[in-house]
Structure formats: C-alpha cells, structure tokens
Amino acid sequence: MQENKTMNETKNSKDQEFLNRRGFLKTTSTVVGGALLGGLSIERSAFAAGDDTLKIALIGCGGRGSGAAGQALSTKGGIKLVAMADAFKDHLESSFNNLKKAHPDRVEVPEDHRFVGFDAYKQAIALADVVILATPPGFRPIHFEEAVKQGKHIFMEKPVATDGPGIRRVLAAAEESKKKNLKVGVGLQRHHQIGYLETLKRLHGGAIGDIVAMRCYWNGSTPWVHPRAELEKQFGRPLTEMEYQMRNWYYFVWICGDHICEQHIHNLDVINWVKNGYPVRAHGMGGCETRKGKDYGEIFDHHAVEFEYADGSRCFSQCRHQLGCWNSVSEHVIGTKGTCDVSSYTIRGPKAWERRVKGDPDPYQQEHDDLFDAIRNNKPYNEAENGAKSTMTSILGRMATYSGKIVEWEKAINSEISVMPKVFAWDANPPTMPNENGWYALAVPGVTKVV
Ligand SMILES: NC(=O)c1ccc[n+]([C@@H]2O[C@H](COP(=O)([O-])OP(=O)(O)OC[C@H]3O[C@@H](n4cnc5c(N)ncnc54)[C@H](O)[C@@H]3O)[C@@H](O)[C@H]2O)c1
C-alpha cells in the first residue's frame, strides 16, 4: 500500500496528516461531483467537518457481521456504529446487545436506526461513512451496488456473489468504486496475515522456481443446521419457505453458493494469489454421499475440482463436509526448484525457509486496521475485483461439479443463468422448493445446466 502523496513536502507528520486529509476530500469530491454521490455524502459527514469520527453501518448482524463490527470499532481514531440492518429483528437485537456490551461508548444505534427486512440495507447505508456488508453472499451484489451508489467506503465479506450475473454486478460496481475513490476491503483475510504475506513474497520472488502444480483443501465437518421443526417450535408458528431458507441459508445455492464458495474460496483465493491470475477452465466431480436429509437443502457434501490456469498449470482442489474423514484446510504448491506448504509457511528445496513466530496480529483485526488506515489517510485500497474473481473461481468449481462437464471461465462468468429469486418477500417462493416429502432436488452431473 502506497501512501498518496498529492501535496507539497511537509515539515512534520501532523502537517502531512492534515494535508492528506485535505487531499482525500478534494480528490473524492472532484471525482464524484454529483449531488447524490459519495463526495457530497462524505463532505456532509462529521468526518469531513473536522471531527475525525467515522460512522459505520452494519448490514447483516450475524456471527461474522458482529465480529467485523467489533473489529472496526477497535481500530484507531474516532469511530461509532450508528446504524444496523438485518432481515430478522431477533438477529439484529442480539448483535446490538452484544456489541453495546463490548463497546459501550462506540455503539450508538437508537431504535430508529435499526432496520429490519429485505430493504433495510438502504436506510442503514445512508446513515454511514463506512458500511460492513456481512449478510450471506447471495445478497452481496445488491448491497455492494447500493453502497457504491451512495458513495460509501465498504468492508464486505467473502464470497461476494453466488452466480455469474452477480459477479458481473460486483465487477461493474467495483469499477465505479474506483472512480469514486472509495476504499473497499473484502474478507479474504489471508491477504492481511503476516505468515501468508511473507510466504507469498518468497514465492513471487522465485523461491521455488516456476510454479507448476497446486493443491488445496477445505475438508472438515458439517456446519450448523436449524431443522424446520425446531424453528417452528421456537417461533410458535409455521415458517414460509422463504423464511425457512433464509434461516438455513448455508444449504441453499442462491444464498450460499454451496460450501465450495462459502469456505473453500479462502484456499482457492490463495492459489490465485500464488499464480497472480485466475483459472481459465475447470472440471470436477461431486455429490452428496453422507449428509443426506431434508434438513440439508440442496448443496453437495463434497467437491473435487481440477482448475487449469493460463500457463497450463493445474490446481487440484477438494472440499468436503463429511464426518470421520481426513480433514485439512490448507494450500500447497510445487515449483521447478522446490515445494511450499503455503498454509504452514514452509518452503522446501534449495531455498528452504519456514516461519515459526508466535503472536502474529489477528488477520481479522489487521484487515480492518488496514482498511481504516487507508480511509483516514487516503491510501489506495480496493480489494473488490480480486474478491469478485476469487468468488468466481469457486463458482466455476461448483459449475464443474454440478454439470460434470469442462466449464470455461469466460462462459461461466458471462453465464445468464441466475440462481437468485425474482422477488424478495417473506411469502415469495425461493428458486428451489421442496417436494411433497420436504426434500430438495440436488444438481445431477451430466444433466444439470450451469452456463
Ligand atoms: N472471512 C471469514 O473468515 C468469514 C468467517 C465467517 C463468515 N464469513 C462470511 O460472512 C458472511 C456471513 O456469515 P455469518 O457466519 O455471519 O452468517 P450468519 O447467519 O451468522 O449471519 C448472517 C446475517 O445476515 C442476515 N441477513 C440475511 N439476509 C439478509 C438481508 N437480505 N438483509 C439483511 N440481513 C440479512 C441474517 O439474518 C443473519 O443475521 C458470509 O458471507 C460468510 O461467508 C466470513
């Protein structure tokens, strides 16, 4: 990250800070201009008026959103959580109570700044300088587009979409965010983890020669599940299908993208980082072998994919949600002059090296420290394009396992097949409905169309 030096040389760091701030506001308002866009909203804010307090809004008040808000509130300088939005009131209230307890002076979200429902995001975004987008990924393109339209700085969780049309929306909004000089962080926190940064620096410096093959894994157990009967008992009423799927989002492709997107994206993103590029095609196989049942929606419990990069090198990838099996969350690369276990920061070969340091900063905190430093000091910072293309890599993998075919990146990213619902309402039908026995249909390799 380079500091933006747009001003005269200055005598001391205080002057420099002041001038950077002036330069930032000037750049933002010049680039943005229009009355409804980012320049004006930033100029109107307390932040621009001389008070350095940044106002943040949290959209998606679940586990990660609450964690990310806590990390944002732990960055240096004046900062306040001023607005929250969630599809569900119960989720919002529990997140609010926990955040208020942990950060009593930095959480000021009155009742009329707590928004609930599918459209809640718009009102919360309007009240902030910086927004945290942490709903499940199906909604990310819609929320990111709106935050960019409103000219806000953004931290958004990975994945950033669940299909090709969603990725294209994110890429278009990413271009717009660059024009508006908005700072955008994406929750692929390995990019802010010292061990990964040190290892990647060595790989890119040629420590193992040319990289010819890669392997990566997210093999683990099944995440949380909320059976319909339990939810109906808890709320004392039947749930519409939309509410049921929203409360069990992990198991539905339109909201989650399948676990190859949800979790394995981290490993695939590291491989893209190692290669400084994205795959050109993929093929693979997957299915649902052990996690069967109507509580588990429509996703697979395993995927094994071979990704091909432009130079012909291949990445062999696996992700699995099956109990009692070999587990690993890791990335490995093979070069012409050595090998590397990226995830344990170990290089073997003539330039052998390993990093064994205890007490490295928490990457979840570091990614927020870096983003807020960039916002306050107008440093270049925009992770949206990589976030979109690494998400696309995982969607490409899902397309390969669902279809059983070789799927080309270009066809996949330009696919017109949308997995998203046409209408967002509690009584609207999601794209996948259960059959009369309550079971959901899964993709059938060789039959399912993905592009
Ligand atoms: N970077 C990481 O290591 C990491 C770790 C965990 C989760 N995540 C990501 O964070 C995101 C959220 O995951 P989570 O574990 O917090 O899930 P969660 O279920 O705990 O929270 C999601 C919240 O979003 C709300 N929501 C859903 N749709 C909404 C909408 N349209 N508008 C407003 N709110 C909506 C839900 O009600 C819920 O409160 C996912 O994309 C996940 O991949 C990233």
pLDDT band at 275 (very low <50, low <70, confident <90, very high): very high
Nearest CA, atom 20, ligand 1? 62
pTM over 0.95? The answer is no
- The pick from 135, 267, 362 for probing ligand 1's pocket by mutation, whose C-beta has the most ligand atoms within 8 angstroms, reads 135
Q: Which two tokens stand for residue 414?
A: 């330009």
Report how far ligand 1's centroid is from the alpha carbon of 219 (Å): 21
Closest atom of ligand 1 to CA, residue 189: 1
| pLDDT top residue among 170 and 24 | 170
Tokens 């996703």 belong to which residue? 299
Res 112: pLDDT: 98
> Which of 363, 161, 365, 144 minimizes the C-alpha distance to 262?
161
Closest atom of ligand 1 to CA, residue 88: 37
| Residues ≥6 apart with Cβ < 8 Å to 392 | 161, 164, 167, 278, 409, 412, 413
Res 19: pLDDT: 31
Q: For the domain bounded by 13-190+379-383, which CATH number is listed?
A: 3.40.50.720
- The pick from 66, 71, 86, 395 for probing ligand 1's pocket by mutation, whose C-beta has the most ligand atoms within 8 angstroms, reads 86
Q: Is the pLDDT of residue 340 over 60?
A: yes
Nearest CA, atom 8, ligand 1? 64
- The pick from 64, 145, 146 for probing ligand 1's pocket by mutation, whose C-beta has the most ligand atoms within 8 angstroms, reads 64
The residues spanned by each domain of the chain are 13-190+379-383, 193-360+385-413
Alpha-carbon distance of 394 to 119, in angstroms, equals: 28
The percent of residues in the chain predicted with pLDDT above 70, rounded, is: 89
> Which of 392, 398, 251, 271 minimizes the C-alpha distance to 331?
271
Report how far ligand 1's centroid is from the alpha carbon of 215 (Å): 28
Report how far ligand 1's centroid is from the alpha carbon of 319 (Å): 20
Nearest CA, atom 25, ligand 1? 60
pLDDT tens-digit profile of 289-331?
999 999 999 999 999 999 999 999 999 999 999 999 999 999 9
pLDDT band at 50 (very low <50, low <70, confident <90, very high): low
Q: Which two tokens stand for residue 311?
A: 């130079």
Q: Which two tokens stand for residue 330?
A: 């890791």
Nearest CA, atom 19, ligand 1? 62
pLDDT band at 51 (very low <50, low <70, confident <90, very high): confident
Q: For the domain bounded by 193-360+385-413, which CATH number is listed?
A: 3.30.360.10
Res 8: pLDDT: 29
Report how far ligand 1's centroid is from the alpha carbon of 180 (Å): 27
* Burial per residue of 197-222, b for 16 or more beta-carbon CB atoms within 10 angstroms, e otherwise: eebbebbeeebbeebeebbbbbbbee
Closest atom of ligand 1 to CA, residue 262: 43
> Which of 370, 331, 332 minimizes the C-alpha distance to 348?
332
Report how far ligand 1's centroid is from the alpha carbon of 64 (Å): 6
Q: Which residues line ligand 1 (CB under 6 A)?
A: 59-65, 85-88, 91, 118, 120-121, 134-137, 139, 157-158, 187, 189, 246, 262
Nearest CA, atom 27, ligand 1? 135
Res 35: pLDDT: 31
Alpha-carbon distance of 36 to 77, in angstroms, equals: 27
pLDDT tens-digit profile of 3-44?
232 222 233 333 333 333 333 333 333 333 333 333 334 433
Closest atom of ligand 1 to CA, residue 92: 39
pLDDT, the chain, mean: 91
Report how far ligand 1's centroid is from the alpha carbon of 324 (Å): 27
As a whole number, mean pLDDT of residues 415-427 equals 97
Nearest CA, atom 29, ligand 1? 87
Report how far ligand 1's centroid is from the alpha carbon of 136 (Å): 4
Res 27: pLDDT: 35
